[in-house]
Each structure stands twice: as structure tokens, then as C-alpha cells.
Chains A and B, each alone.
Chain A
């Protein structure tokens, strides 16, 4: 059910803007998708990893003799071999974090439970599993470090090369927060807030089938890596080969959400085995492995928050100390240490902000960018701040937001650290969300629920989905890094029989790129989308790609479709020139429409079907003059323009587009059990021009489900020995069909002035659900001693604890008023 409020745009639309059913579906509903585990090769071996049972231990010895004796085992590999035949992966941080040595298998020491320490390859999956049990590893357990704050003490140090658990640390300061605090009428202090560890857990686990060509020394990696450009940048130097020796091929991918970005360690093991054993090797991650050892979202603790508030409710600044726990190895980190700064003030007009940010290693699974990566954690902080300030000062949470939101008339709005919010109307989106949940009737519903013994609450969650990254933001962390800008590539050609063929560098995992790319091309070339064939997936050899190719960071609508648009426009221009030449008419009189190139308002004969153009160039081109050489095959690299960042002030345009999502939830809490029931829920999305509204709405649904799961049950919890207690879907409960509340969605379109199609990237905005559920729970529990929600995950037992002892959560908060 959707209510739509559209704002007028100047973009002319045909297929763009329509909810075309997806062409990807035909194969997928018949079970004819090709996911990597569906790919077979003759003589292939199956790989099973031997994994550490300890969170922290020295590896004294590994004996593979018994495994090798098992009939059907092709070979093994251990950390010692890896240390000889590869170099450690490229680290992005400055020292000491940059000194960490990260190999494809544990070398000499294991640092998280489930870390691969050896691998076995055998003729069948079952045999590989059996053989793995026969590998004898001798460990000497070490104390386990499972707390980020504890890590700062450096009593247990994970990486001797670095000598410290600190991966990166720095202070970001814009405006003058101490002045703002001094001038404030109220200072609200929050001792501690905790954003928990969880992940999107895509249903298809990670994996690859790797083939090695001995003649050319090239590897082909059939896989589901969602950012192969970066994967190759890690893997090639580690394997001591040129980047062109690695061919990545992706086809259908069963969800990514950022959890399939850091697969390079396991893939390097597969490359080594494929080369060593002279046969294709295949590895499929098991669910338990994904939960234990692949990709958690960043866990972040916020300490010593101080917020400056004026008497009229205007919030002028805040400071905070953030400790980010990235697990045993940084890998894609420390980028999370800056990416939050894309949304430094959240949706609000704060001008004075200070963030003291430290990232540490612990004996937990390494993190990977998880849907909402790093912005979600920071936006949760800003929303918690707003709700706690409102609660403590007796202000209305809606009014506080509207007073402090950046206003529509201020757009484009430059934040204190130089990012530019391109467009949006937060207050209008909030009103739409409140309307959808019938905000006006809340107090009545609260009384009614009370009569049934339930506590009702309402919460708002505002979030920004910043998209199209400037990789130059990494230089704010490490000025020696040679990364900046962004790019994505596409190629569009007109084939001999008139078919338009598009190849993309992107790596879709369900976002419908084939369909939306066809819509864009169809509008530009004036043909029906059915005439446009979009080759699915990424192929380093056969599809086009650029250095940053992949699907991540909410940027497809900008960079992916921007590349498609650019290539299609180059093709269009050539088609017009060719038609003009053949029809002997001026170029300005040629139009492309209905699959034809024709003279506008001309006679019927003054028209060429696309097929004719394709045939001329490919098969019948002798009559074209020597200086006119159309190819009808164009590649375009979309390079968004950012300008250069200021590494001293730590300012600059870190990202280009900002989609808005405002979520509102109404919950009923059972005060005896702590169970939270969501009785009403609305999510309003504004991602500018919607290429395919149904696809956009689907993303909103899915991101909301992720948020509901994270807010109410999904949690990667460790015990003091570093054992993950929620390693499978029994204990790590994700929403099933009966867990989902009725979802209402609304949409607005504030076109982006900077995006090629006015369309912003979107898909990660679901953090809004976590924010609004925390707010709703806090609101519901107010009559029971006003406990403060201090953690982003609130399963029944935590809600019950807050009810039983609200005081201990309130001890967290102090208000100092003039």
C-alpha cells in the first residue's frame, strides 16, 4: 500500500518512472538462475576450511598427513604455505594499524573463532568435510579480547606487528563545540550508547569456483563478490601477479548487502589450491561460517556524549567519543572511521561537532561494510540524541525534529565538514510518515492499549542514505593513500540485427539492474525496453568495468545508470549521424523513436529500423566516406566530480547524493514479558527521481525488514571466551513472514541536482527502522520510570530489564541547565 506525493521535475520520462516488471524474474521464478554453486567443472574439487575453535591462540603445529591419506582427497594448504607463496594484504590504515599482517589463512596465530587455518580439497563435499576433521592442529590458547574498550588498554594485543590494538584514531572537530556547550541553556550528557553487532546475512552464502590456466597463468573466479574491482586490488599483489591475471565472473547473486565485499582471503586460498592441484576448486560457505567468520557490521560504542541545547529547543552542537570494534582484522577498515562523516550532523542543523574516533581490533569476526555502513551507526547516535534530549527536556520529538531539521529551502546544504546535502524535504517526509500511522490518534490508542495491559509508544527514525562515495575520503584517514573519486563503466552497442546490447561493471544482487538499465536506454534510443538486452553480472574480461566497479554504497542510480546514460547518448549521437547520412537529411531533423531512426514528420520512406543501421556498419559499410567511421559500440565511464578533500581540516565532499528515509513506528509492549509488538509502521522514502518505483519500494521493504530484525532480535553476541553464541538462524533470529508488521510506504521525489538522471542511489536507508523502534520503545516505557534506550538491539529480555530497573539506564543521562 503506497501513498505517493510527487514533486514536479523537468526530466522527460517514458519508460523511466514506470514500474516495469523485471526481466530478471523469468529465469529466477523457474529456478534457472545461475548462482556460483550451480556452476560445475569437470574434475573439480571441493574445499572445506579447517577453522579455529579458539578466539585467540598460538598455532603450534598443523599436521595434514591423515587428511591426505583419505581416499579422494586431492590436497591441502596451511598458513605456512600461504606465508611463503603470498604477501600480506594491502592495509589502508596509518601506523600502527597499517602494520597489521593479514594473510589468507592464519599464520602462526589465530585471532577469531572460526578463522580458517587450513583448507582441504577432495572429490566430494562430504569427503572434504571428513578430511577436514582429520587435520590435526595443536593450539596454545591465549586470553581472548572481546570488548572494544578493554582493547584500548593493550593488555592483550592481537597483532604484534602493530604492537597496539588501535587500527586508527583521530579527532574530528568542526565549528566550536566547547563554545556551543558554554553558551547552551541546557547541556544533556549521555554516558554511553551502544550500537550492536549484526549483519544482513544474505540467504546465499559466499563462495567461488576457481579455475587456473597453467598456460597463461590466469585465474577465473566464478563467484558472488560484490566489489570485484577492489577484490582484485587486494588479491593481485598478494598473489604477486598483475591485476589482469584475475578474471572475476559473477552471474546471479543471492543478496549481498555489503557482506560479500571482503571475500579475498578465502578466494586467495582457492587460487593457490587451484594452481597447486592443477584442477578447478570450489568452496561454498556454510551458514555457520558466514555468521562466525565472514562479515559482521561495525560495532560502535558512543561515550561521553554532550549536547548543547538552547531554551527554544534548537540544538547547536554535540561532542562524542566513539569506539569502533572492527573485529580481528581491519580489511575494508578503517574506511568506517570516515564514512560516517558523510552524515556528520545527521538531518539536523548542528554547526559545532566534535567526534573523537578510535577503531580497535578484538577477537571477533572481522567486519565488512554492512547495509548502511558506518552512517547507520552515526545516524542512530543523532536520533538517540534527539529523542533523549526531547524526553529529558520535556520537548515534543516531532517539534524538536522540525525545529532542527535542515530545511528544504536550505538545499543544497553544506554541512560543517563540507559535505553537500543535494536535496530533500525532511519535514514534509516526516509529516507524510506521521500521517500514514495516524499520529493524531496516538494518545487515544495509548489509553486503549493501557486498558488491555499494554504499553503503547510511538517513535520516529530519520535517516539519510548517502550515495556515490568519494574514495578520496580515505586520504582523510591516511594521506599516503592513492585513492580518490569514483567511477563506473557501461558499454552500449547496436548489434547487426538491431538489438541493443548493454554491459555493466555493476554487480547486482537483486536490485534489478538489467531492468532499470533497459528503461534508461530505451528512453534515450527511442525503442521499447524489450529490444534492449542487458548482459547480467560482472565479467572482468567480457563485460566492461572500471576500478571501482561493483554494487555497494547506494550509487547505482548515479554511477551505474550514469554510465549507461553516457554510453547510450554516445551511441545515439552516432545513430543520428549515420541515419542523417543515409537518409541525406540534416542531423537536427532526425529523431529516434519506436525502434526507428527517421526524419521528423517526414515521409514514410525516410526511416531506417535500427537493424538497418547495425547492418550497414557491421556488414555493408563500403559506401561510407573514409572520414566517417561509426562503430555503434560505445563505452562510457561515469566519473562523478567531487573536488579535492582537505586532509588537514578533514572536510570535503565525501559523497554526492543523499536520499531521505523517515520511518515511524507504533509499538505495544507486554510489560510482563518485554515482548515488543509493532502495530503500525510507515516508511517514507525520497530518493529523487525513481527509475522504477516498484523496485524502489521493494528496497524500502527489505531495508525495513533488516532494521526490524536488528532492532528486536538479530545480534552477534560473544561470551567471554570469544565464542559466538548466535551462529545460526535458531539463535540469530531474522524476521520471518509472521514477524513482519503491516508496512505502509510513502514516496516523495526531490530530484538530485547533481545526479545524471536526477536519481539518487538508495537501498541502505533502513537504519531508520532501528532508530524509530528504539524511540518507540523508549516512548512506550515512559510511564514505567522513563528508562533510556541505550542499545540498538532490544529483545524481550532487555526491555524487561529496562522495565524492572529503569534507574540504571537513567543513571546514564544528566541534564545541566542554566
Chain B
């Protein structure tokens, strides 16, 4: 409950922050603190220097890039995701899932950047962002680079953000015609920590989205053939897991419940999830299949016309 001695700095610009992170060996960025402060209270980790990102206004914006992608600054809070009209219009699943994270107090402080950079296997946003084909922009002393989701999440508490670097923004494609997203989880109590979760995203042929209205393709949204389907599981491995066999089985298919269930069979057997007080590995395998189906069906039912 009581922290070890630590040094603290609050830089005024991103470049200053990066310089501090590079200069001090045991330096960690402090975003919302809803995980890091807990970790420091437990003395499970004790950085020497905390670099508080609170003043970095450029990391707090939500807007659209020139490529049409929805761009979310790393310091945007869960509460801001929930109330953002840009998010609601462009990719509402982000706000809906953010609204189930913990509670109001945590959502007022916790950030999207913190959530993904911690990469705790039970965090909601990593599997969701993998399903949405998110890109992650990282800035270091040498400049900026953008990494896609499969390269960003590398291991438990491990991401592509290196020493002396900062995640500055996360971007996702806007939901265009034919896109549908879903998320399903079993948690420890309502809005609690995830035991297993699954995220799914459906888009038209080609994966990014067709501009043709769905009706002209001659089917209701739930039965329309899917283009690309991304199904991602969380809590079952050090990083989010793409259910690739299931995805292949669903690509171009009619997304009826029977078809989706059929495609999910055998998914559990490919996983090696942990066993703990909240469930055995077998339980998590079964949940993975069930929740993958639910996420896909939810995504299918929400495909925009």
C-alpha cells in the first residue's frame, strides 16, 4: 500500500518526456496510473523515475487522419472514449467496451495508452484493437514509427514500445458499410476483470469495407456473406490470439449461428490457457469457443447497412 521512494517529473512536451525516459534507466511513463500506482503499492515493481504525461495535450485528442482512420491520442481516458461523438460515429464498439471497464472513477483516469502498453492478458482493449486492425504510433528520439497490432503486443506486460519511447496514438479504420464489431466476455462480477474475452470484427470483401450499400448485394445484414472476419481471444495467452482457423472458416461465409458454431469447433484445443482460481484451462478453452461465437454473431447482427 505504501510506495518505495521514487522521483517524479512532469514534462511539458512529448519530446521532453521522451528525453526523460531515455535519460533515466528505471524511468516509466505515468498515464492514468490505474495500474501502475497499484503495482507500485504492492511493490511488485518500483520504477526509479515516473514521467507524468498529464501535461501532454497533444496526446489527448480524438480525430480523423487524412486516411480516414479514427485517431485516438494515447492519453485519452476510457471516460472520453465513452462520451466521444467521434468514437460513437466511427467505431462505437470502443466506447461500449470502455464503458464496461471497472467503474466511473477508474474510467475518469485510465487511458487507452496505459491499457495497451501494460498489455495485461486480461485487459479488454488489446484483443479488441487487434480485431479492429489497429495501428500504434510510437515516438522515440529517432522519430515516429507506426506498428500494426500483431507486432505491437509482444508478451505479458511487453509491447513494441521500447526504452526511451512513447506510444502517442492508436488508430483504427472507421466502420464503413458492411462493418460490424462484437465483444463478449465472462468477467469476475459485473464489469470486473475478464476471465476470457473475445472480440470480432467483420468487414466486406477486401477487408476494409465496400462503399456499396449492403441491400444491393441482395441479402439482409445477418445473413450476408462476410468478407474478412477477425476473431481475437484474450486472457488465454500472453498476447491476444487470432483464431485463424475460425477466421478462415468464416471468410466469405453466411454467418448463421450453425455456421459460426461449426467454425469455432476445435478452437479450444489449439489454446493453452492458464489455470487459476477463476477457472481451469479446460474451462477457459470452452469459454473461448463460446465467446468467439457470441462475438461473431454480435458483429454480424450489427453490420451497418
Contact = CB atoms under 8 A, between A and B. Distances in A.
- Tell me whether A and B are bound partners: yes
Nearest to B1: A286
A731 B286 contact: no
Interface string A653-689: 0000000000000000000111100000000000000
Contact of B4 (A130, A673, A801): A130
Given A673-B186, A733-B189, A736-B189, A795 B278 contact: yes
B279 interface: yes
B1 A796 contact: no
B290 A673 contact: yes
Given A125-B2, A715-B277, A730-B188, 7 more contacts: A288-B1, A713-B189, A725-B276, A726-B277, A731-B278, A736-B189, A804-B286
Contacts of A130: 4-5
Contacts of A713: 188-189
A126 B283 contact: no
A738 B190 contact: yes
A739 interface: yes
Interface string B275-305: 0111110010011001100000000000000
B262 interface: no
A810 interface: no
Interface in B188-240: 188-193, 195
Interface of B: 1-5, 43, 103, 186, 188-193, 195, 276-280, 283, 286-287, 290-291
A717 interface: yes
B283 A733 contact: no
3 residue pairs, one from A and one from B, having the closest CB atoms: A738-B190, A797-B279, A129-B2
A125 to B, nearest CB: 6
A800 interface: yes
A797 B274 CA distance: 14
Q: Residue among A126, A673, A715, A726 with the most chain B CB within 10 A?
A: A673
Nearest to B122: A730
Interface residues of A, number: 30
B191 A738 contact: yes
Given A797-B280, A797-B283, A739 B1 contact: no
A237 interface: no
Interface string A244-275: 00000000000000000000000000000000
The secondary structure that dominates the B interface is loop
Contact of A796 (B2, B103, B190, B279): B279
Interface in A705-744: 713, 715, 717, 725-726, 730-731, 733, 735-736, 738-739
A739 B278 contact: no
27 contacts: A126-B2, A129-B2, A130-B4, A133-B43, A287-B1, A288-B1, A672-B286, A673-B186, A673-B291, A675-B186, A713-B188, A717-B277, A725-B276, A725-B277, A726-B277, A730-B192, A733-B192, A735-B189, A736-B189, A738-B190, A739-B190, A796-B279, A797-B278, A797-B279, A797-B280, A797-B283, A804-B286
Interface of A: 125-126, 129-130, 133, 286-288, 672-675, 713, 715, 717, 725-726, 730-731, 733, 735-736, 738-739, 795-797, 800-801, 804
A796 B277 contact: no
Contacts of B2: 125-126, 129
Contacts of A735: 189
Given A126-B3, A286-B1, A731 B186 contact: no
A739 B290 contact: no
A287 B3 CA distance: 15
B287 A673 contact: yes
B188 A731 contact: yes
A512 to B, nearest CB: 29
A650 to B, nearest CB: 39
B287 A739 contact: no
Contacts of A795: 278
B10 to A, nearest CB: 21
A492 B277 CA distance: 53
B56 to A, nearest CB: 29
A234 B103 CA distance: 43
A715 B276 CA distance: 13
A551 B191 CA distance: 35
Nearest to B185: A673
A813 to B, nearest CB: 24
Contacts of B280: 797
Contacts of A286: 1
